[in-house]
């Protein structure tokens, strides 16, 4: 179904180990407004979209969110992989380390594991598209907060790029909402 190009959509670099920043950024991996939730939401909702165009939009954006999840994972891993235990403890990641070492795991910044309760799929295309627009705005806000927290210019560049993609997704969902509303209100003659 997909062709996988074995490179990230945007290059990921970190200036060095930074477990404190990793602890915050990981929320976009497994937090309530993160990339895992977004990808699963859109790739599930696409089945009840009424037109090929709306299905394609959710498929495209859902797939791109998987690529963003990979970018966030590369960021978090890069910030953790060479971190000494003393920095991991200082960042409050002792419990995370005890359970996962420096591996990636779907959690929020507070360490709450990912749950399917983070996503919704109502089966009503208008409701679902509004849900998706709100989700993109929440993700944009989260990226802005992470940019404010970042003390690594390399990480900040990646976060800015991801934030801009959330804005584009919001716009695409808005266009799709208009398209679906027009389709649903059009007189059907058979």
- Per-residue pLDDT tens over the stretch 44-67: 999 999 999 999 999 999 999 999
Q: What is the pTM of this model?
A: 0.94
Residue 103 pLDDT > 70: yes
Q: Write down the pLDDT at residue 187.
A: 81
CA torsion angle for 17, 18, 23, 24 (degrees, to 10)? Answer: -130
- Cα dihedral: 142, 133, 38, 54 (round 10): -160
Query: Is 6's pLDDT higher than 90?
Result: no
Q: Which domains does the chain have, with CATH numbers?
A: 26-115+124-179 (1.20.1260.10)
> How confident is residue 167, by pLDDT bands cut at 50, 70 and 90?
very high
Q: What is the pLDDT of residue 1?
A: 62
Q: Which residues contact 126 (CB under 8 A, 6 or more apart)?
A: 177, 180, 181, 184
169 CB-near residues (< 8 Å, 6+ apart): 61, 64, 132, 136
Mean pLDDT, residues 171-184 taken together: 98
pLDDT tens readout for residues 112-158 = 999 999 999 999 999 999 999 999 999 999 999 999 999 999 999 99
């Amino acid at each position: 179904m997909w062709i996988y190009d074995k490179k990230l959509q945007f290059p990921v670099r970190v200036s060095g180990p930074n477990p404190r920043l990793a602890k915050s950024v990981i929320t976009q991996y497994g937090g309530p407004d993160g990339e895992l939730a977004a990808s699963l939401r859109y790739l599930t909702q696409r089945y009840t979209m009424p037109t090929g165009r709306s299905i394609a939009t959710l498929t495209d954006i859902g797939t791109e969110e998987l690529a963003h999840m990979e970018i966030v994972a590369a960021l978090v891993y890069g910030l953790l992989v060479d971190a000494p235990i003393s920095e991991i403890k200082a960042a409050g990641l002792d419990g995370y380390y005890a359970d996962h070492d420096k591996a990636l795991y779907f959690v929020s910044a507070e360490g709450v594991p990912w749950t399917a309760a983070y996503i919704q799929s109502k089966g009503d295309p208008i409701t679902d598209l509004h849900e998706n627009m709100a989700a993109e705005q929440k993700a944009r806000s989260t990226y802005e907060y992470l940019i404010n927290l970042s003390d690594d210019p390399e990480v900040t560049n990646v976060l800015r790029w991801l934030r801009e993609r959330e804005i584009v997704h919001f716009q695409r969902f808005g266009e799709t909402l208009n398209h679906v509303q027009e389709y649903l209100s059009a007189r059907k003659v058979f």
